[in-house]
Structure 1
Amino acid sequence: MNQLVSKKPEHETIYLRVKEMILFGEVVPGQPVTIHGLADSIGTGVTPAREAIRRLTAEGALVTRQNRRIEVPAMTAHRLEQIELVRLTVEPSLAEAAADQCKLIDIKELERIDALVDKAINDGDIHGYLEANYRFHFHLYGLANAHILRRIAETLWLRIGPSLRVVCGRYGTTNLLDQHRAATQALKDGDARKTRDAITEDIRQGMEFVRQTTT
């Protein structure tokens, strides 16, 4: 398991593992998720798997249909519009606040993670790209010391992550764009506004890719 999953109580560890599966596209929109199937796939008991599904359903990452089927919801234009509106409000604000707290060691870590993003794009590694992209953003957002806003951002990423997987599956990784270098350069320059602008444009580019796969 990777950095999201550390030494925690079993139920928390399993929740984080399932969260990663959704964030990084291991569970695609419309794919059914069962308690027993999930427990078997990650090697855990029924109780922690049930608790993980309950928490992720409450966060909107999973939905329960009328036939009690549990799945990752497919993206719609209406849902996408709402997610984009809130992302463009919350995440640039986190980035701007982070710029005021950012140190050289943080910039170096962001550059290290961005190198992993570039490698994944060059290698066509979809899972690697989704994970490194997430790490970049949330390392930056974590510097803002704004826990409520960061939690909102995490919930939004849970809702958009599977759709980003669909984008990568359809178009591959070679055409993916980001503004990570612009953001890190702005951080080096101590320019909080440009950091905000870079993340704003990064979000818009990503959401436009999702829009192309949304009905």
Structure 2
Amino acid sequence: MASGAIAAGLPAHELAYRELKQRILYGEFKPGRPVTLQGIADELGVGLTPIRESVRRLIAERALEFHGNRRISLPQMTHARLEEIYTVRSKLEPELACRAAAHITKADIDHLEAIDGELDRAIAFGDVGAYLKHNFRFHRALYAPANSQVLLPIVESLWLQFGPSLRVVCGRYGTSGLSDQHKEIIKALRAANIGAVREAILRDIAQGCTFITDELFANENQP
């Protein structure tokens, strides 16, 4: 990893942060299961100092919790926490999508369609890791033309809190029941129908949160 940092022209702590962020986003850490800073450092092949800096940033983004004795974990998802994440995502992501739609190019839309094709293949083959990767790639590419310096970092911090639970549910039940609104989003973008883009994003977010709620908390109120 150190050589990668040099090749990329990035300091070790930044490369470690990006690697940890990606692993959290794609659900490679399980919520509630503690890991040690030394274990992460050994796995990534870097010293403790860049790991400490990376972890501090991720704790500030509420993606990690510190437990003492140099142990960290992902926060456990609760029904109340998921509802808050849904509320904020449903406010910010449609706004980001509409801002992006005002600047998006045909090449951008073609790229989104290609990513969605990869996502469909991941679902067809039951590849949970690839599904998560391409799902988040789709949303990041969708919002990129907005060139947001404020909204996008907030949204990405919500994805960090949301992604691991999506991985847990997909790991239990596979990809066969997954659905999204990506094709509707692409259709609305090609038609330059910003209102339809907003509505499709809202439905997409609602579907994802409902999927997690139904599977994680189905028995919460049962005796």
**Under a length normalisation based on structure 1, what TM-score does the superposition of the two structures give?**
0.94
CA–CA separation in structure 2 for the residues paired with 1:19 and 1:33: 15
Quote the residue 2:62 is aligned against.
60
The amino acid of 1:189's aligned partner reads A
Quote the residue 1:9 is aligned against.
11
The amino acid of 1:165's aligned partner reads R
Matches within 5 A, 1:1-215: 7=8, 8-65=10-67, 69-212=71-214, 213-214=216-217, 215=220
Return 184-193 or 56-65, whichever deviates more: 56-65
What is the deviation of 1:68?
6.4
CA–CA separation in structure 1 for the residues paired with 2:46 and 2:88: 35
CA–CA separation in structure 2 for the residues paired with 1:157 and 1:107: 22
Secondary structure of the residue aligned to 1:147 is coil
Equivalent residue pairs, number: 212
What is the deviation of 1:67?
7.1
CA–CA separation in structure 1 for the residues paired with 2:145 and 2:29: 29
Q: CA distance change for structure 1 residues 92 and 125 in 2, over 3 Å: closer, same or farther?
A: same
Q: Deviations over 1:33-89 (max 9, x none)?
A: 211010111222211111111110111000123776421011001111111100000
The amino acid of 1:62's aligned partner reads L
Segments of structure 2 that go 5 or more residues without pairing to the other structure are: none
Structure with the greater alpha carbon radius of gyration: 2
RMSD of aligned Cα (Å): 1.6
Segments of structure 1 that go 5 or more residues without pairing to the other structure are: none
Aligned structure 1 segments of 4 or more residues deviating by more than 3 angstroms? 65-69
The amino acid of 1:39's aligned partner reads A
CA–CA separation in structure 2 for the residues paired with 1:42 and 1:126: 23
Q: Say if 2:124 and 2:176, in contact at 8 Å, map to a contact too.
A: yes
Secondary structure of the residue aligned to 2:150 is helix
The amino acid of 1:111's aligned partner reads E
Secondary structure of the residue aligned to 2:35 is coil
CA–CA separation in structure 1 for the residues paired with 2:192 and 2:20: 37
Q: Say if 2:37 and 2:72, in contact at 8 Å, map to a contact too.
A: no
Give the share of equivalent positions with the same residue, in percent: 49
CA–CA separation in structure 1 for the residues paired with 2:130 and 2:15: 21
What is the deviation of 1:183?
0.2
